[in-house]
Amino acid sequence: MARVVAVANLKGGIGKTTTVVNVGAGLALKGARVLLVDTDAQGNLAMALGVQPRRTLYDVLVDGAPVERCIIEARPGLDLLPADATLLGAQPIIARRPDWSRVLAQALQPVARSYDFVLIDSAGSLTPLNVNALVCAHDVIAPTTVEHFSVKSLELLMAQIGRIKGGAGHVRMIIPTMYDPRVRQSSELLALLRARYGDRVTPPVRVNVRLSEAPALGKTIYEYDPRSRGAIDYAMLVEYISQAFGFTARPRPSDPPEPAPAPAPVTTPHRPVSTVAPETCPHCGRTLQHTSLAGYRISYCAQCRFKKQELVRDRGQG
């Protein structure tokens, strides 16, 4: 059964859609079966992925169309249930139904078993469909910019989610977005977030112009510029989220075969085998951690946030 995750914040323009696209695409590149659901009438998910939907969530929720017929394959392993402006007209219709807060959950039920993750993108206000997204989700991930007003409004968000889901504990992760380490206030607010919300705060996504350029071309950040800071940060976030939800990378049928392992070194009985020391951080000396995505191997330090990446193979999408 899919893990259903709502990506939500009551503020607009703070990186919800960017997070859904690049976390979803990253999970799919790691072999997960991912469905993205757009509950925002702006329809930004389809635009960001460069697809032109014929049927949308409106058809499912209002006209009763079978959900499978409205889902499109955006990339291998990455499906989309899109939205467009017609969804504005759906909201008052849904709001009149007695079971209005569960219509999305009911609509997704027939396909939930086909996916590892269902990621729901939502609008920046508490619309009936946003309430549906929160009711339907097992977990909520809240992106927030690292700015004074955004950090302040998190309390309100927690309270609202608590009211709808019966406990703020459902906010599984807070993702600091558009983080600028050169700005002192940005670092101070990130420290404040960590002090207040502890390990619910994920590694930050830095401000990166490539992330804002990619959607205009209908590309994920791994397709548009896999060497960018945005690609590294989202790849690390994908690794973090995979671990938190217990997902282990698996090859997709279309993946090129892994290169054959190097032959074992020939050793003579009396000579000790030389062991390769683990790679360490050039700044603080800690052992580096590794993840790979879109053909790149990313090495990072969990202590001081040092990062570097190397191309390991051409993956077609990157």
Residue placing its CB nearer to Mg ion in the complex, 48 or 78: 48
**Under a CB-based contact definition with an 8 Å cutoff, are residues 62 and 144 in contact?**
no
Among ligand ATP, Mg ion, none, residue 211 binds (CB under 5-8 Å by kind): ligand ATP
Q: Closer to Mg ion at the Cβ: 18 or 309?
A: 18
Read off the DSSP letter of residue 37: E
Dihedral (CA of 79, 36, 44, 252) sign? negative
CA-to-CA distance for 4 and 35, rounded, in angstroms?
9
- Residue 123 or 281: which CB sits closer to ligand ATP? 123
Tokens of 250: 């698996």
Distance, CA of 14 to CA of 237 (rounded, Å): 16
Count H helices and E strands in the chain, helices first.
11, 10
C-beta closer to ligand ATP: residue 158 or 281: 158
The whole-angstrom separation of Cα 221 and Cα 96 is 40
C-beta separation of 135 from 102 below 8 A? yes
The binder of 205, among ligand ATP, Mg ion, none, by C-beta within 5 to 8 A per type, is ligand ATP
Nearest distance from residue 215's CB to Mg ion, in Å? 10
* 15: partner contacted, choices Mg ion, ligand ATP, none (Cβ within 5-8 A by kind): ligand ATP
Using CB atoms, what's the residue nearest to Mg ion? 17
Partner from ligand ATP, Mg ion, none binding residue 177, C-beta < 5-8 Å depending on class: ligand ATP
CA 252 to chain centre: 19
Q: How far is the CB of 279 from ligand ATP (least distance, A)?
A: 27
Could you list the residues that contact Mg ion (CB under 5 A)? 16-17, 44
Tell the smallest beta-carbon distance from residue 16 to ligand ATP (Å). 4
Cβ 20 to ligand ATP shortest distance, Å? 8
Selection from Mg ion, ligand ATP, none that 28 binds (CB < 5 to 8 A by kind) is: none
Based on CB atoms, which residue is closest to ligand ATP, 177 or 202? 177
Tokens standing for residue 124: 């920046």
Nearer to Mg ion, 8 or 34 (CB): 8
Shortest distance (Å) from residue 21 CB to Mg ion: 9
Kindly tell me which of 109 and 212 has the beta carbon lying closer to ligand ATP.
212
Q: Closest Cα partner for 92 from 57, 66, 60, 127?
A: 127
Shortest separation between residue 46's beta carbon and ligand ATP, angstroms: 13
- CB 40 → Mg ion: shortest distance, Å? 5
Q: Which CB sits closer to Mg ion, 39 or 186?
A: 39
Name residues whose C-beta falls within 8 Å of residue 65's C-beta, 6 or more positions apart in sequence: 55, 59
**Binding partner of 167, given Mg ion, ligand ATP, none, CB within 5-8 angstroms per partner class:** none
Which residues contact ligand ATP by CB under 6 A?
Answer: 12-18, 40, 42, 44, 124, 177-178, 205, 207-208, 211-212, 215, 230
- Burial of residue 114 (CB within 10 Å: 0-12, 13-18, 19+) is middle
Cα–Cα dist 175/154, whole Å: 11
What backbone torsions phi and psi does residue 119 show, to the nearest 5 degrees?
-110, 125
CB 35 within 8 Å of CB 49: no
Q: Minimum CB separation from Mg ion for residue 61, in Å?
A: 19
Separation CA 13–CA 123 (nearest Å)? 10
